[in-house]
Structure 1
Amino acid sequence: MRPSRVRRRPLLRFEGWIAGMGTSSGTRIVLGHWCRSPFGPFSDVMLEKADGERLLLAPTRETADFVGATYTFDAVRVVPVEVSSAAGAWTVTAGPLDLCFTTGRRGLLGMLLCAVPGPLARRPAWSALTDRFAGLLLPGVRTRGSTIGGRREWYGARDLRPIPALSATFEGTDLGPVAAVEPPVRFGFSSVPREPALTRVTTLIALGPE
């Protein structure tokens, strides 16, 4: 008898940007701004407070359920999430969070990532290869790994720009100026770069065997 084959669900692809930043209050913020996704364009915010509480701010119940089933949070809120950007300045409104940040000129690593062709960045094999070097260049960063619920994930970066300044309030409290992402965020298997940065990325997620 021939062994049965395990069918795997197609990879889900998200194209967009991830902004990771810390604040002097100890709150760390990760913005996902997705221009293309299985849910259409949307943005979400992952926020880890100084006391370690992890919060997800997502625009719909569908996206909240998906992101909440992929990463680990202590609380999830469905709130309007609006993002705009122009000339290197980003503005984010997400329920109790108001955030503005600016991006600077890309460095050598950013220029190298810009040279990565899009089709290559979308291949899991490329993310597996870069995973060997990501942690050396950016401690705490992984480009492949497993999430909760047995999902697998790959990141293919195509640009990297520093975030030199921000202003943010959460529930009316000023979070202070930009700071390093320290300690690393604990939503999944990877943190964002320690130095605040905006990364253009293709994220692939495999939901696992059917």
Structure 2
Amino acid sequence: MTPVEALVVVDLQTAFVSGGEAVPDHERVVDRARLLLARARATGAVVVQVQNDGPAGAADEPGTPGWELYLPPDVAGGEHVVRKTDDNGFEDTDLEDLLRGSGVRSLAVCGVLSEMCVMATARGALERGFRVVLPHDAHATYDIPAAPGISDVVPAAQASRVAEWALGDEVEIVARAHEVRFAAPAAGVGQTAV
């Protein structure tokens, strides 16, 4: 696989990946995000964590324990945190400018929730002309509740797969996070892909 130059970790916040309200399979998503972070960091790829600012009273309300990023970013090492209020991490943020200013043309996306912020951010990247890689085992969501007269409960794993499919054939879906390779953007030439 051709390496990507950035990793965008979407909403990997304490409220969604720890405790009783965590998404199903949260341990897997956290583990895969750690793997992707380590590999991106080792190559000098751009690392961005997108952090949702939920409304007052929400589990991800700014300043609450649930709002905190679960895996601390290495800001001193040049990593970035982009705060958002929309599902799409590019909407009303400086994410696009940050990536373009760093020479990024391709990126991997991971995090939560598959059918909401992960999908919207991946689609936002595609619409802006970025190449997007989405590792199947590095994003997750909740079960979709039953809707009387419409459907039974849709298990989280199925909802995540449908979210991938809904992105169309422009996104590159890989089965496992360990298949994603990283390289520094052109400005950081000289580092090897991992």
Q: TM-score range by the shorter chain?
A: under 0.3
Whichever of the two has the greater Rg, that structure is 1
- Give the TM-score normalised by the residue count of structure 2: 0.27
Q: Which has the higher helix share?
A: 2
- Give the TM-score normalised by the residue count of structure 1: 0.26
Q: Which has the higher strand share?
A: 1
